[in-house]
């Protein structure tokens, strides 16, 4: 049974609208008769404006018994994480070898504004290359930033010559929103065999990170 919410009850209306995925903040403006004149909403860019407005109309009608014209909804979409807004990119700060049992592992330090992300990887044995070890450590650091929004997997990484230039190529897969994406990155080695694989992985994922980090956290399956 639908609960009838009065249009003059701004607090109840705002509480309903905040339940819509992608809504960060909402403010109701009433006219002189206490009817909804404007509905100002701040949302994230993870969903289209049309989808958010449609869901606002639906939740107000179904749960509040209020029918509102979509023209009264004013929506502005702002990323939740300003550190990765506007095309900002993670920076590689350091790559070091870490002593452990048997073969040494690798530690990677990334910078995101004032935030630092540390990742590490221990050798899996077999014929794992140094590039693979550094690549896994880089993705381990990225996992702290992405959380449950997505899952990165290193598919392949290798050094090769492209003409007279030595490069490092990285193939990373991303599972997010039940969809599998292929991400490719490249870096020039320039004699630094430890940092080149990390730069290649960052080149693969950096273009995807802003929209991924600003999405609502959900468990990747």
CATH 3.40.309.10 for the 85-213 domain, yes or no: no
pLDDT of residue 78: 66
Phi and psi at 157, nearest 5°, equal: -150, 135
Question: What's the pTM?
Answer: 0.58
- Hey, do 10-77 and 85-213 end up sharing a CATH topology, with the first three levels equal? no
Examine the pLDDT at 168 and tell me if it is beyond 90: yes
pLDDT in tens, 36-76: 999 998 887 778 889 999 999 999 999 889 999 989 999 88
**Percent of the chain predicted with pLDDT > 90:** 36
pLDDT in tens, 66-124: 999 989 999 887 655 444 544 456 889 999 988 766 667 899 999 877 778 899 998 88
CATH 3.30.70.20 for the 10-77 domain, yes or no: no
Average pLDDT over residues 18-39: 88
Q: Which of 137, 217, 215, 150 is nearest to 183 (CA)?
A: 150
Give strand pairing partners of 119: 108
Domain residues of the chain, as ranges? Answer: 10-77, 85-213
**b/e sequence 82-114, b meaning 16+ C-beta within 10 Å:** eebeeeeebebeebeeeeeeeeebbbbbbebee
């Amino acid at each position: 049974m639908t609960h009838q919410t009065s249009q003059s009850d701004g607090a109840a209306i705002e509480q309903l609208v905040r339940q819509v995925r992608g809504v960060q903040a909402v403010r109701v403006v009433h006219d002189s008769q206490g009817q909804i004149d404007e509905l100002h909403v701040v949302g994230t860019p993870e969903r289209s404006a049309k989808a958010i407005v449609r869901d606002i109309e639906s939740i107000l009608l179904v749960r509040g018994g209020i029918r509102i014209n979509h023209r009264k909804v004013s929506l502005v979409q702002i990323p939740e994480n300003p550190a990765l807004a506007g095309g900002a990119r993670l920076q590689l700060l350091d790559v070091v070898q870490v002593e452990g049992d048997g073969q040494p592992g690798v530690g990677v330090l990334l910078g995101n504004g004032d935030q630092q992300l540390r990742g590490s990887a221990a050798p899996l044995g077999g014929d794992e290359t140094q590039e693979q070890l550094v690549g896994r450590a880089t993705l381990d650091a990225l996992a702290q930033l992405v959380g449950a929004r997505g899952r990165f997997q290193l598919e392949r990484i290798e050094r090769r010559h492209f003409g007279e230039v030595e490069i490092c190529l990285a193939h990373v897969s991303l599972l997010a929103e039940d969809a599998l994406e292929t991400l490719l990155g490249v870096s020039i080695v320039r004699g630094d065999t430890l940092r080149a694989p990390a730069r290649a992985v960052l080149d693969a994922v950096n273009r995807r990170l802003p929209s991924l980090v600003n999405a609502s956290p959900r468990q990747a399956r």
